[in-house]
Each structure stands twice: as C-alpha cells, then as structure tokens.
Structure 1
Amino acid sequence: MIPVPSGVRVWLSMGRTDMRRGMTGLALQVQEALGRDPHAGDLYVFRGARGDLVKILWHDGLGMSLYAKRLEKGRFIWPSPTEGVVAISAAQLAYMLDGIDWRNPRHTWRPSSAG
C-alpha cells in the first residue's frame, strides 16, 4: 500500500490514459492536460481503457514515484465525466485499490446489539 500522508489530495484523471506512459509522460499530462503541478505532492490516478489497471503518480518532495495496480478480476470503479479531474479522499482511494465501490462502500456485517 502507498504510504499516503494525511491531508494529501487525490485526483482521478478522467477519460482513458495510455498505460504505456511512464512517470515523465504522466507528469506532462498532469501539467498540460489537467493544468496542475505534478510536483505539488498530490496523488494523480490514471486508468486505462480496459479499466483493470491504474497508475498513481506522486511526488513526495524528494522524487517522483509511479505505482501501478492491476485487478485479477473486475474493473476499477471510475466516475463518468470524460475530461478533467475529480477529487476523492485517501480513504476512497484505499477502497478503490481494494476493488470496492468507493462511491458507496457498505459494511458487510454490523452488530445489532452489544450483548
């Protein structure tokens, strides 16, 4: 798991991203297409056309990191806008990376009484 500091902003890049891009190409996309600073310490999440692979770009103050995760089954839940960015919380990112619908997470079991 990515050691996400508290208070970090997470941005989902809308649309399809060419997953052949590395950290330099994705940083350039953040700067030019999204109009944001890729070195500001925010996390930028990109999804490919098939939806089973995400890449996360992060500059931690010392250097740029690129993380990738591919689901064995299913797809990552992604918002519907075709362009721009959508902000989510670090907790929602954790749900997403676990393959859970981060828009409406549900408890599988909740106790009905204490005793």
Structure 2
Amino acid sequence: MIALPPATKVWLACGATDMRKGMCGLAVMAQEVLKQNPHSGAVFVFRGRRGDLIKLLWYDSQGFCLFSKRIDRGRFVWPMSQTGTAHLSASQLSMLLEGVDWRRPQRTLRPALAG
C-alpha cells in the first residue's frame, strides 16, 4: 500500500457495492452516495456483496488511483450505519486491509519487569 499522509480522510461506503464499477462509477458513488468530493484527496473504500473484495479510490492530485484487494479467507470487517458512511483513520484503514477487526483491536501489553 502506498503510504498516505496522516491527515488523509478515509470514508467507507457502508453496505454492498457493485464491484463491477471502475474509477468513474466509484467516483460518482463518492459524490452522490457519500456526499463527498472525489477530488478531495480522501480515500473512499467500497466492499463487495460477499465481503471478500474491497476497492479503494484515491485522487492524488494528478489523477484517480484504484486499488483492490481480495482476501483469501474470511471477510473484511464492515460497519452497518444508518447514514451509509463511516469515517476511519489511516491506522484503522491499515488494520482493515490486514483483515484485523479495526473496531476493537486487541493490544498486547507486556507487564513491566520489576527491577
């Protein structure tokens, strides 16, 4: 994955998206469904009906980039929202792409050694 600036906004389209859509179709969805400017530099994430495929749309000031990932086992964790959108941080997006439940990440803390 290309490193994104820390202040990059990440928008998820809750629900299922037709994965046959390409750059133009997803840009229209970002504008009309998510009510966001697709040229804003934000990352827009869409998930297919089966849950094992996601597409990311990003405008890098020169043009649109379209990334896709199909997970071999399991499904991508996806929120259900009344508004149809969800906002994530760049670190939550990284967890999502790794197949980690970004809503409740488990932190492993080792106890401090008594000295």
Instruction: Give the TM-score normalised by the residue count of structure 1.
Output: 0.93
In the TM superposition, structure 1's runs of 4+ consecutive aligned residues that sit over 3 Å from their partners are none
Residue matched to 1:101 = 101
1:83–1:17 Cα change, 3 Å: farther
Equivalent pairs counted in the alignment come to 114
Superposed CA deviations along residues 81-102 of structure 1, whole A, max 9, x for unmatched, are 2652110100000001000000
Report the counterpart of residue 90 of structure 1 in structure 2: 90
For the aligned residues, what is the CA RMSD?
1.3
1:112 and 2:91 equivalent? no
Q: Tell me the CA shift for residue 110 of structure 1.
A: 2.5
The equivalent residue for 2:26 is 26
Q: Shift of residue 114 of structure 1?
A: 3.0
Q: Which runs of 5+ in 1 are unaligned?
A: none
Give the partner amino acid of 1:112. Answer: P
For 2:17, the equivalent position in structure 1 comes to 17
**How far 1:17 moved relative to its partner?**
0.3
C-alpha distance in structure 2 between counterparts of 1:83 and 1:47, whole Å: 16
**For each residue in 1:35-58, what CA deviation from the matched residue of structure 2 results, as whole angstroms up to 9, or x when unmatched?**
211000000000000001100000
Q: Percent identity?
A: 47
SS across alignment from 1:112: coil
How far apart are residue 113 of structure 1 and its match? 2.1
How far apart, CA to CA, are the structure 2 residues paired with 1:64 and 1:3?
A: 16
Which residue of structure 1 aligns with residue 77 of structure 2? 77
Q: Distance in 2 between matches of 1:104 and 1:79?
A: 12
Given the superposition, is the C-alpha separation of residues 53 and 82 from structure 1 closer, same or farther in structure 2, using an over 3 Å criterion? farther
Structure 2 residue runs of 5 or longer lacking an equivalent are: none
